[in-house]
Amino acid sequence: MKKNILFIDDEIVWRGGQEQVFSLMSGLDRSSFRIFLAAPQGAPLAQRAAESGIPVFHLEPSWEVSLFAILRFLKLLQSQSFDVVHFNTPRPLLSGGIACRLSSVPGVVISRRVNFPLRSWLSSLKYNYLVDRVFTVSASICETLIRNGVSSSRVSVIYEGVDLDWFDQQMTRLALQWRGRTLVGTVAHLSSEKGHETLLRAIAELKNCYPEALLLIGGDGELRAELEATVIDLGISDQVKFLGFRSDVEGLLKQFDIFCLPSLSEGLSSAILAAMAARLPVVATSVGGIPELVQNSVTGWLVKPNQPHELALALETLLKDQVLRERMGNAGRQRVDSHFSFQQKLDATERAYEELLRPGRN
C-alpha cells in the first residue's frame, strides 16, 4: 500500500534547500509513495511542484506558533491521511509539529541543512518532542545537534546526492568576452556566512600575477551592493563579474576552471557537490560539513575561514597548474559518483521512512 508523504516548506525564494527537496520529491519511488507539498502560494517551489504534477496545498504565512496556525495545520492534516510529514524548513515546525501530534501522524521528520547551534531550549524541545527524526545533510550538523541536547536516537545523516546522468545533460553558453581567461567561479547566496569578501580580497592579492584570472560570482542577496562597492575599493573591477541569480547553475559550472566557496559556516554545500560533479577542483574552507565532501590535496584545497592570504595561495596553486586542476577535478567527480549519488540519497530517505512506519517501532 502506498504511503502518503507531505512535505512542508515555507520559503518564498528558491535556494539550495528548495532545489534539494524538489529533487527528493521528484525522485521518490512512486510505486511506494504518494507525494504532496504545502508551500506559500506563488513560491517557486510550489510552482515547480505543481508543474510536475505534485498536489500542492497553500501554506499561509504566519507566526511560528499561534492557535490560528495550529488550527490551519490541523485542517490540512485532516484533508488527507498522511503517513509522514516532512518539514523542509524550521519555522512551521512548532505549530505544525503540535498539529501532527494532535493528529497522531505516524512519522514526523525535519531536514536540517545549517550548522548553526540551536538558539534556545525551545528549539531543543521541538527537535526532541515534535519530530521522530531529524535528517541532517552532514555528520557535522548531527554532532552539533547532539551537543545542543537533541537525542542521538532522533538524528540521522542523509547526504545530498547528484543525479549525474541528468547533470551531464545540462549546458549553458559562456559570454564571448570571457573566453580565453582562467575562470574562478562561486555560486552562493550573497550573505555574510558565505565569505564573499574574503574571496574578493584573495583575488585582489592575485590580480598582478594572474591578470587573466576572472572571478564569476553567481547568486544574489542582501550583500550585493556592499560586495560591488568592495570590488571598486579593491580595484578589481576587471577581475570580477557578478552574474546574479542563475537557473542554469549546473551548466554554468562546466564553464569554470576552479570553484571556490570560502564559507564561514556551512552545512554541506550542494554547490560544492555540483562543482565536483562538473570535474572542478574546489578551494573551500574547512568548516561544517565541507571536509566531508572535499578531500584536502586530493579533490581540492581546504583553508581556514576568513583568511584571504591563505585562500589566495590555494587558488594560486591551481591557477598555475592546469594538470593539477584536471587531476583534482577528476578525483572530485569520482568521489561524487561513489559517495554522493542521487540514488544513494533516495535509497537512504526511503529506508528512513519505512523504518519510521514499521509496526512496533516505539
Supply the pLDDT for residue 4.
96
Residue 59's pLDDT band (cuts 50, 70, 90)? confident
147: helix, coil or strand?
Answer: helix
Close Cβ partners of 221 (under 8 Å, ≥ 6 residues apart): 189, 190, 191
Give the up-direction half-sphere exposure of residue 244: CA atoms within 13 A in the CB hemisphere.
0
pLDDT at residue 203 tops 80: yes
Cell of 193: 556566512
Q: In the beta sheet, which residues pair with residue 161? A: none
Whether 234 contacts 197, CB under 8 Å: no
Asked if the structure places residue 72 within a domain, the reply is: yes
Task: Please indicate, yes or no, whether residues 295 and 328 belong to a single structural domain of this protein.
Answer: yes
CATH number of the domain enclosing 60: 3.40.50.2000
Asked if the structure places residue 79 within a domain, the reply is: yes
Asked if the structure places residue 320 within a domain, the reply is: yes
Residue 361's pLDDT band (cuts 50, 70, 90)? low
Supply the pLDDT for residue 112.
94
Q: How far apart are CA 201 and CA 211, in angstroms?
A: 14
Distances (CA, A) of 42 to 13, 22, 38, 51, 87: 10, 15, 12, 12, 19
Supply the pLDDT for residue 107.
95
The model's pLDDT over 278-323, given as tens digits with 9 standing for 90+, comes to 999 999 999 999 999 999 999 999 999 999 999 999 999 999 999 9
The model's pLDDT over 104-144, given as tens digits with 9 standing for 90+, comes to 999 999 999 988 888 778 788 889 999 999 999 999 999 99
Q: In what order do the strands lie in the sheet with 56-58?
A: 56-58, 33-39, 3-8, 84-87, 107-112, 133-136, 155-157
Task: Please indicate, yes or no, whether residues 42 and 152 belong to a single structural domain of this protein.
Answer: yes
Task: Please indicate, yes or no, whether residues 220 and 235 belong to a single structural domain of this protein.
Answer: yes
Q: In the beta sheet, which residues pair with residue 39? A: 58
Close Cβ partners of 177 (under 8 Å, ≥ 6 residues apart): none
Residue 338's pLDDT band (cuts 50, 70, 90)? very high
pLDDT at residue 82 tops 70: yes
Residue 234's pLDDT band (cuts 50, 70, 90)? very high
Asked if the structure places residue 361 within a domain, the reply is: no
Asked if the structure places residue 131 within a domain, the reply is: yes
Task: Please indicate, yes or no, whether residues 309 and 270 belong to a single structural domain of this protein.
Answer: yes
Task: Please indicate, yes or no, whether residues 148 and 209 belong to a single structural domain of this protein.
Answer: no
Close Cβ partners of 157 (under 8 Å, ≥ 6 residues apart): 135, 136, 137, 138, 139, 141, 142
Task: Please indicate, yes or no, whether residues 114 and 125 belong to a single structural domain of this protein.
Answer: yes
Task: Please indicate, yes or no, whether residues 28 and 172 belong to a single structural domain of this protein.
Answer: no
pLDDT at residue 326 tops 90: yes
Mean pLDDT of 342-353: 95
Mean pLDDT of 40-51: 94
Task: Please indicate, yes or no, whether residues 185 and 65 belong to a single structural domain of this protein.
Answer: no
Asked if the structure places residue 362 within a domain, the reply is: no
Nearest to 307 by CA among 264, 259, 260: 264
Supply the pLDDT for residue 120.
79
Percent of the chain clearing pLDDT 90 (strictly above): 81
The model's pLDDT over 151-199, given as tens digits with 9 standing for 90+, comes to 999 999 999 999 999 999 988 877 667 778 999 999 999 999 999 999 9
Q: How far apart are CA 300 and CA 284, in angstroms?
A: 8
Q: How many helices (H) and strands (E) does the chain have?
A: 15, 13
Q: How far apart are CA 230 and CA 224, in angstroms?
A: 10
Task: Please indicate, yes or no, whether residues 27 and 144 belong to a single structural domain of this protein.
Answer: yes
What is the residue-averaged pLDDT of the chain?
A: 93
Asked if the structure places residue 279 within a domain, the reply is: yes
Structural domain range at position 329? 165-339
Q: How far apart are CA 290 and CA 303, in angstroms?
A: 11
Q: How many CB atoms lie within 10 A of CB 44?
A: 18
Task: Please indicate, yes or no, whether residues 141 and 254 belong to a single structural domain of this protein.
Answer: no
Q: Is the dihedral of CA 223, 224, 225, 231 positive or negative?
A: positive
Whether 13 contacts 45, CB under 8 Å: no
Whether 138 contacts 158, CB under 8 Å: no
Q: How far apart are CA 5 and CA 45, in angstroms?
A: 16
Helix 270-277 to helix 322-339 angle, to the nearest 10 degrees? Answer: 110
pLDDT at residue 46 tops 70: yes
Supply the pLDDT for residue 176.
67
Close Cβ partners of 181 (under 8 Å, ≥ 6 residues apart): 212, 213, 214
Tell me how many domains the chain contains: 2
pLDDT at residue 362 tops 80: no
Q: Is the pTM of this model over 0.85?
A: yes
Supply the pLDDT for residue 63.
55
Task: Please indicate, yes or no, whether residues 310 and 287 belong to a single structural domain of this protein.
Answer: yes
Task: Please indicate, yes or no, whether residues 224 and 268 belong to a single structural domain of this protein.
Answer: yes
Buried b (16+ CB within 10 A) or exposed e, 90-126: bbbbbbbbbbbeebebbbbbbbbbbbeebeeeebbeb
Asked if the structure places residue 7 within a domain, the reply is: yes
